[in-house]
């Protein structure tokens, strides 16, 4: 695995741009699998520009749940053959979970590198998901690494890990470090200002309707484009009425659930799986909606979702195309 350069345009938009981006010539065992359906949309640009920089500050990628933050990083990495080392934040996460710890192997104590150490040594991306669930005191321990300094591992006899020039540090989180006033993202913690100040921050929303329609059409050719367009329209209706969305957070009838891209894909998958119900006069689309999202909502919100769905899918009985004979 050695360093190489790719044309960023060819890789991410299909048109050569002459802008070269660093990557590796072959994937490592830590390079994420490539998702052929992944669409690089508007939010990707900031992350790609960040990767083009020689010594970028760490990146903080924030946005609503399942908008595609982690998958964006993994899919960029997959195309650059970049190894990715991941950790997920939680309130009991401690520094050794990231750096490594001593363990017994064949009767002797050996130090096992954690994901951060491995990324620093192997020139990979350290992808720290949901970091805002961690205690700010724990994260403060990362400040010197965020500044680009080497890591000194006391538990391993003071081993000094000098970051490889290809090492990159990315955090994903639902909040921008200022906690969450809706209470929907249970467990997030307001972060320390000194920690937050070390990042370039990129805000990422759900993909545009065009991108989501394109995604659904390519992933689920069994659904007509009329149906997928309505599903995307419905998802955006739900997002507008979501209480986590600042414009509707004061509305008394705001929904406490929202349609993530993940839930939208689940809805489409279930609508196809439940297609046989159409013969019994049950709408697979509405049936799948409850299982993809509705059953997670409060009774009031579920009723609201059903009313919205009746408006969007007035004749939702059998809207999937008949199966082709084989």
Of 39 and 227, CB closest to Mg ion: 39
> Given the rule CB under 6 A, which of 60-68, 222-230, 241-249, 294-302 is the region that contacts ligand ADP?
60-68
Out of 58, 69, 202, 271, point to the residue binding ligand ADP (CB under 6 A).
Answer: 69
Structure tokens of 232? 């995307």
Out of 88, 129, 245, 248, point to the residue binding Mg ion (CB under 5 A).
Answer: 129
Please classify residue 171 by burial: count the beta carbons closer than 10 Å to its beta carbon, then call 0-12 exposed, 13-18 middle and 19+ buried.
buried
> Given the rule CB under 6 A, which of 32-40, 135-143, 184-192, 251-259 is the region that contacts ligand ADP?
32-40
261 binds, among Mg ion, ligand ADP, none (CB under 5 to 8 A by kind): ligand ADP
Out of 23, 41, 257, 285, point to the residue binding ligand ADP (CB under 6 A).
Answer: 41
Q: Does 37 bind ligand ADP (CB under 6 A)?
A: yes
End-to-end, the C-alpha distance of the chain in Å comes to 44
State the residue number with the nearest CB to Mg ion: 70
Q: Does 89 bind ligand ADP (CB under 6 A)?
A: no
Please, what is the Cα angle at 301 between 243 and 250, to 5 degrees?
A: 25
Shortest distance, position 103 Cβ to ligand ADP, whole Å = 30
Shortest distance, position 153 Cβ to Mg ion, whole Å = 27
> Given the rule CB under 5 A, which of 75-83, 98-106, 129-137, 146-154 is the region that contacts Mg ion?
129-137
Tell how far CA 9 is from the center of its chain: 22
Please classify residue 272 by burial: count the beta carbons closer than 10 Å to its beta carbon, then call 0-12 exposed, 13-18 middle and 19+ buried.
middle
Of 48 and 151, CB closest to ligand ADP: 48
Of 63 and 114, CB closest to ligand ADP: 63
Q: Does 38 bind ligand ADP (CB under 6 A)?
A: yes
> Given the rule CB under 6 A, which of 10-18, 66-74, 114-122, 277-285 is the region that contacts ligand ADP?
66-74
State the residue number with the nearest CB to ligand ADP: 68
Q: Which of residues 38-97 bind Mg ion (CB under 5 A)?
A: 70
Q: Does 215 bind ligand ADP (CB under 6 A)?
A: yes
Please classify residue 65 by burial: count the beta carbons closer than 10 Å to its beta carbon, then call 0-12 exposed, 13-18 middle and 19+ buried.
middle
Would you mind telling me the total number of residues written for the chain in this entry? 326
CA distances from 101 to 84, 120, 139, 156, 206 (A): 20, 16, 17, 8, 38
Q: Are strands 84-88 and 125-129 parallel, antiparallel or unpaired?
A: parallel
Shortest distance, position 188 Cβ to Mg ion, whole Å = 13
Please, what is the Cα angle at 85 between 82 and 87, to 5 degrees?
A: 150
Of 58 and 284, CB closest to Mg ion: 58
Distance CA 247, CA 71 (A): 27
> Given the rule CB under 6 A, which of 36-44, 93-101, 293-301, 312-320 is the region that contacts ligand ADP?
36-44
- State the number of binding residues for ligand ADP (CB under 6 A): 17
Shortest distance, position 325 Cβ to ligand ADP, whole Å = 30
DSSP 314: T
CA distances from 35 to 4, 156, 157, 207, 287 (A): 22, 38, 41, 16, 28
CA distances from 106 to 80, 101, 103, 113, 299 (A): 37, 16, 10, 17, 56
């Amino acid at each position: 695995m050695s360093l190489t350069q790719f044309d960023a345009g060819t890789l991410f938009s299909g048109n050569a741009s002459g802008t070269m981006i660093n990557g590796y010539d072959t994937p490592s065992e830590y390079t994420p699998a490539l998702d052929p359906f992944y669409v690089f949309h508007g939010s990707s640009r900031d992350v790609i520009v960040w990767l083009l920089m020689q010594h970028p500050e760490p990146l903080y990628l924030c946005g609503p749940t399942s908008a595609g933050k982690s998958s964006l990083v993994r899919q960029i990495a997959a195309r650059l053959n970049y190894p990715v080392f991941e950790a997920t934040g939680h309130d009991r996460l401690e520094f050794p979970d990231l750096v490594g710890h001593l363990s017994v192997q064949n009767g002797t104590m050996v130090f096992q590198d954690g994901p951060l150490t491995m990324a620093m040594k192997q020139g990979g991306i350290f992808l720290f998901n949901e970091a805002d669930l961690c205690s700010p005191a724990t994260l403060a321990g990362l400040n010197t690494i965020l500044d680009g300094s080497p890591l000194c591992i006391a538990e391993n006899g003071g081993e000094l890990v000098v970051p490889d020039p290809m090492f990159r540090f990315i955090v994903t989180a639902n909040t921008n470090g200022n906690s969450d006033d809706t209470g929907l993202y249970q467990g997030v913690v307001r972060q320390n200002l000194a920690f937050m100040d070390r990042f370039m921050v990129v805000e990422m929303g759900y993909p545009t309707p065009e991108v989501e329609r394109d995604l659904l059409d390519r992933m689920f050719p069994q659904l007509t484009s009329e149906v997928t367009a309505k599903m995307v329209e419905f998802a955006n209706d739900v997002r507008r009425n979501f209480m986590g969305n600042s414009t509707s957070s004061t509305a008394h009838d705001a929904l406490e659930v929202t349609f993530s891209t993940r839930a939208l894909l689940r809805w489409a998958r279930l609508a196809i799986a439940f297609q046989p119900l159409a013969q019994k006069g049950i709408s697979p689309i509405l049936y799948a909606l409850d299982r993809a999202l509705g059953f997670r909502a409060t009774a009031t919100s579920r009723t609201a979702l059903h009313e919205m769905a009746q408006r969007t899918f007035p004749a939702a009985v059998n809207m999937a195309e008949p199966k082709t004979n084989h």
